[in-house]
Amino acid sequence: MIRKILHILFLPCSEATLLMEKRNAQTISAKERRRLNLHIAICKWCKAYNEKMKLLDKIFRKTFSEKDTEINEVEIQDFKNKMIDKLNF
């Protein structure tokens, strides 16, 4: 019960996942990092999501570093647009 209350008061899962994505793409502030770390410590679902994100990032980095593959800006923008469409349902 206390975990649920802390979970909601400190940082909801929706914000935690966004911070994880933001952290993966760029740096986050010290305050955001503290809030995220606290949330991950008390939320088993977000902890699992965080671990999967780290694994996927490691796989992608290894794959792209091995292949000398270049991704152009059009492909990146197309990917972003597809993700936005899927998130908006």
Write the pLDDT tens digit of every residue in 63-84: 777 665 566 778 778 888 887 7
Instruction: Yes or no: say if 47 and 13 are a contact pair by the CB < 8 Å rule.
Output: no
- Output the DSSP codes for 2-23: HHHHHHHHH--HHHHHHHHHHH
Question: Mean of the per-residue pLDDT values for the chain?
Answer: 82
Q: What is the pLDDT of residue 68?
A: 55
pLDDT tens for residues 11-39? 888 899 999 989 988 889 999 999 999 99
pTM above 0.85, yes or no: no
- On the question of pLDDT at 6 being above 70, the answer is no
